[in-house]
Structure 1
Amino acid sequence: MNSHSDETLKKLLEKSYVTYKEGEIIKATIVKKTKNGVLLSLGLKAEGFLPYEEFSSPEEAVEGKEIYVFLEAFEDREGFPVISKKKADFQLAWDKIKRLYENGEIEQATIRKRIKGGFAVDLLGVEAFLPSSQIEFRPQVNPDSVIGQTFGVKIVKINIARKNIVVSRKLAVEAEQEENRKRIFSRIKVGDVIDGTVRNLTEYGAFVDIGGIDALLHISDMAWTKLTHPGEVVKINDNIRVKVLSMDKATGRIAVGLKQLQPHPWETIEKKYPSGTKVKGKVIKLLENGAVIELEKDVEGFVHISEMSWSKDIKEPKEVVNIGDIVDCVVLSVDRDERKIYLGMKQTQPDPWSVVDENYQIGQKVTVKVTNLKEFGAFVRLPDGIDGLIHINDFFWDKKVKRASDYLKKGQKIEAVIRSIDRKNRKISLSIKHLQEDPFVKLMEKYPENSKITGKVSDIIPKGLRVSLEGGLEEFISLKYLERRGKKLKDLYKIGEEIELTIKKYNTKLRRIILTEKEIAKPLPKKKEELKPSPDKFPLGEIIGAQKQELDDSKKEEVK
């Protein structure tokens, strides 16, 4: 009885265990979680153990949950079953993975952790490798930021023997974009206005996501005014409306524009800003030669430094204006083709040339500032900003000037006399020498021809003497007009010696005085009016002719 009962019990126990074979996938239940893994009920004599590394995530190990494992051996040296969840997952998912690989289909995968060279991802419950170079088109700023993210990937390589699977996010994105591109090209056309999100900014524009693919918004199509960077108009993640400008199916490229949704401000610019119009604007940029003024959105004007003030000699625009200043201007001209508006600030004030005849008269003494020096003269500025010229011939009465810079400096303040005013051509001529009376005329008035005058010998040369007269005048006396004879001139005359002379003749054109030490017959006195000099300016031919005649007379005297 007892032996029969033991035999029966043994058979019943054997029947209670499921018959498995090594190399099979079996179902197991998680019965307990431990520090390093979980214990599983396999329906065998002993419980199985799986470390947490066998799971895609430790959170998947839940007590009571049924999972599939691969039975590698019934017992190890310690008597426990040798099992693997990863191998079971791989074999269960292999058929689908193989089909996805062969068909180039996209499957969702979740990034679990970083490993050498890339990331470990969960693909259909199987661990696969995602290289860093295949995660996105652009390098990730922070690689850890993608852990836990789920997105589509393509299988690029499988090795069933080594249980290796390599996937690519890059190829999946390309495939997704290609599908999106086909969809978008069939849905939109050139001229359509569509919505988009700014995805990225570059120096030359912005890339706008228009529904799965990027369109280029070039910087030149963002605003009617010139921009230095796209960030002046849009920012990343901005939702904007754009107009489709071009579509190229061959390359898949789409160009969009933002400014095309606004009317061109220059279409009616000449009517809105005719020459002479007074405007108000904001200084938005300073250049070396002027300032850029914003008149309205996308409409700017330019003020050159020469148009900022009537009276100031401006070197830099910041001497007058600063960025952000609101200034009054006058439109000088509009160049629609070049899209430029030229403005003037000084024109908002009365033009000093319009009242020049009221403020200045010929012969008036004024204080001026030297603004520029040329070989032929000095440009000077009058108190109200009007510029005039002092020619080198008007520096001194009887001194020849070669360069204005020999006597004047830029920025120097001097006194001068106005000699002429040409309002039409906006010119004023001034003179320094006319601050004093002409010593030549003064001498003529005091000493008419045939009058006696004292001269001081200033130089002795073989052909005659040079003598100094009143008023700082100097004159030459030829040998034929000297009285002393018989010896060398240096023996007859001494430098500094005063000698009595007679004024033989005045040459007003050449401003020369013919002097003689000899007595001459006195002619009838002439009227005083006849002794006055001719005007300061003479025809060039007359001056040259008179100089030639005097030179010929001098040569004849030397021959005698």
Structure 2
Amino acid sequence: MSEETKVQEQAAPELTQDAMDNFVSLKKGDSVKGTIVKIEDNQAYVSLGYKYDGVIPIRELSSIHLDNASDAVEVGQEVELKVVSIDDEKEKLVLSKRLIDSERAWEELQSRYDSGEVFEVSVADVVKGGLVADVGVRGFIPASMVERHFVEDFKDYKGRTLRVKIKEIDRENNKVILSQKEVLDAEFEQNKQTLIAALQPGQELDGTVQRLTPFGAFVDIGGIDGLVHVSELSWQHVAHPKDVVAEGQAVKVKVLKVDPAAGKISLSLKAAQPGPWDSAAGQFNVGDIVTGTVRRLVTFGAFVEIAPGVEGLVHISQIAHRHIATPQEVLQEGQEVQAKVLDFNAAEKRVSLSIKETEEAPEHVPSPSSDRPARERSSRDRAPRQEDLNNPNVSLNSSGMSFTLAERFGDKLNKLK
């Protein structure tokens, strides 16, 4: 046996006695350091260098609920603990990691709250109303403070790492409220201002439809949303955006207007596509007979759509062979008609049409006088009275004289012979 071994054997009883002296001097509330030597489902054992190991119940491992002690510590890990109770008869030393973590956490959390620091947490549990994270104490993230958008189900969030800020802290009531949404909102606004500053009217961009409203569609153009008003979705009339686009659809848009102060971006879907007049330029020629739909009736005529987004005017004089006072006498909105192209100018977006040119003219076109009441016609068509002949203010014309001169003045003419 070597001298070194002898020295160790002789020193061992002294070390054990020192350890026992230290053990006896421990009291509730003291802080100790030890090493995790064994882990069971609901507790962990710690070697402190004393007569027997201490135990950490699962409830004292963390400030949040744990399914297994191994979720908080691992064998070989050095930990600092607080003495909860000492039972010499049962040789049981109950320790707490939670109390030590909590004491340190409040000071650090207060500092992070004061500075507005952004830090990472791991989602430990999904509970009713939000998420739970271990930040030395129990940290709660309400459902409304998780994302910028509504989340229906958080079941996939357990284990995720989130970047948060402390929204509210109350040590007296052991309350810490965290928010990831506040972090995302701040980053969104910063990114939005940077992107808006780089936008110019006339730019064409790729985007994704985010959401639909009755008045238009919001399109994501790289981290920020712009509005495509319903009137800018298509060259044709659109009753509702859902008739043209769907959420998640990839689209190409053109920037119409940028308002950095208000943070608003106006976009157009139709402006990024060929216009209907461009497509119609080689489609129609003067003299063509086309089929169209009456879209609008006005006092001077009717506007007929002959291609999507291309409307031509049928002047009131070109609606019918007979005289009409208003287009409504012959046409109604939504009616399908045939028309002849009288003039087509794509550059000026102007088309002149004629409906009557597609119809055969009647053999006899009633004159305006034919529409007069019979009493009026009979009074004008009869032979003039003697008193009218003697009245210098009465004008006799051929249309008002249906009799011959011989019938009226025959006798007098004979005398002149």
**Common fold, TM-score beyond 0.5?**
yes
Residue of structure 2 equivalent to 1:104: 116
SS in 2 for 1:47: strand
For residue 259 of structure 1, what is the amino acid of its counterpart?
K
Give deviations 1:146-188, integer Å, cap 9, x for gaps: 7546543321222234332112233222211122124324554
Asked if 1:24 corresponds to 2:9, the answer is no
Residue of structure 2 equivalent to 1:393: 374
Separation of aligned partners in 2, 1:178 and 1:28: 47
TM-aligned CA distance change 1:301 to 1:133, over 3 Å: farther
User: Any unmatched runs of 5+ in structure 1?
Assistant: 322-326, 362-379, 381-385, 401-418, 420-506, 511-534, 540-560
Residue of structure 2 equivalent to 1:256: 267
Asked if 1:42 corresponds to 2:43, the answer is no
Give deviations 1:111-154, integer Å, cap 9, x for gaps: 53234xx423315465322334434555x373556754654332
TM-aligned CA distance change 1:508 to 1:277, over 3 Å: closer
| 8 Å contact from structure 2 (residues 148, 185) kept in 1 | no
Residue of structure 1 equivalent to 2:395: none
SS in 2 for 1:351: coil
Deviation at 1:39, TM superposition (A): 1.7
| 8 Å contact from structure 2 (residues 36, 46) kept in 1 | yes
Asked if 1:195 corresponds to 2:203, the answer is no
Residue of structure 2 equivalent to 1:225: 236
SS in 1 for 2:262: coil
Residue of structure 2 equivalent to 1:129: 140
SS in 1 for 2:359: coil
Matches within 5 A, 1:4-403: 12=16, 15=19, 22=29, 24=31, 26=33, 29=36, 31-34=38-41, 38-43=42-47, 45=52, 46-51=54-59, 54-55=63-64, 58=67, 61=70, 64=74, 66=77, 70-75=81-86, 81-94=93-106, 96-109=108-121, 112-115=125-128, 118-122=129-133, 124=135, 126-137=137-148, 140=150, 142=152, 144=154, 147-148=157-158, 150-185=161-196, 187-266=198-277, 273=284, 276-280=287-291, 293=305, 295-296=307-308, 298-300=309-311, 329-331=339-341, 347=357, 349-353=358-362, 356=363, 389=370, 391-393=372-374
For residue 393 of structure 1, what is the amino acid of its counterpart?
A
TM-aligned CA distance change 1:130 to 1:186, over 3 Å: same
Deviation at 1:292, TM superposition (A): 6.6
SS in 2 for 1:101: helix
| 8 Å contact from structure 1 (residues 71, 83) kept in 2 | yes
TM-aligned CA distance change 1:335 to 1:201, over 3 Å: farther
TM-aligned CA distance change 1:304 to 1:230, over 3 Å: farther
Give deviations 1:451-485, integer Å, cap 9, x for gaps: xxxxxxxxxxxxxxxxxxxxxxxxxxxxxxxxxxx
SS in 1 for 2:205: strand
Residue of structure 2 equivalent to 1:494: none
Which structure has the bigger radius of gyration?
1
Residue of structure 2 equivalent to 1:405: none
- Report the count of equivalent residues: 362
Query: Normalising by the residue count of structure 2, what TM-score does the alignment of the two structures yield?
Result: 0.63
| 8 Å contact from structure 1 (residues 54, 84) kept in 2 | no
Give deviations 1:251-283, integer Å, cap 9, x for gaps: 3333333233234444797886566433356x6
Separation of aligned partners in 2, 1:395 and 1:246: 64
Give deviations 1:413-454, integer Å, cap 9, x for gaps: xxxxxx9xxxxxxxxxxxxxxxxxxxxxxxxxxxxxxxxxxx
| 8 Å contact from structure 2 (residues 64, 137) kept in 1 | no
Deviation at 1:206, TM superposition (A): 2.0
Give deviations 1:336-367, integer Å, cap 9, x for gaps: 999676756664x43223xx1xxx59xxxxxx
SS in 2 for 1:74: strand
Separation of aligned partners in 1, 2:384 and 2:142: 101
| 8 Å contact from structure 2 (residues 295, 305) kept in 1 | no
User: Any unmatched runs of 5+ in structure 2?
Assistant: 1-8, 323-328, 386-397, 403-417
TM-aligned CA distance change 1:395 to 1:119, over 3 Å: same
Q: CA RMSD in A?
A: 5.3
Query: Normalising by the residue count of structure 1, what TM-score does the alignment of the two structures yield?
Result: 0.49
Separation of aligned partners in 2, 1:255 and 1:276: 41
SS in 1 for 2:86: coil
Deviation at 1:538, TM superposition (A): 4.9
TM-aligned CA distance change 1:393 to 1:288, over 3 Å: closer
The percentage of counterpart residues that share the same residue type is: 25
SS in 1 for 2:47: coil
SS in 2 for 1:180: helix
Separation of aligned partners in 2, 1:32 and 1:342: 90
Separation of aligned partners in 1, 2:344 and 2:217: 32
For residue 55 of structure 2, what is the amino acid of its counterpart?
E
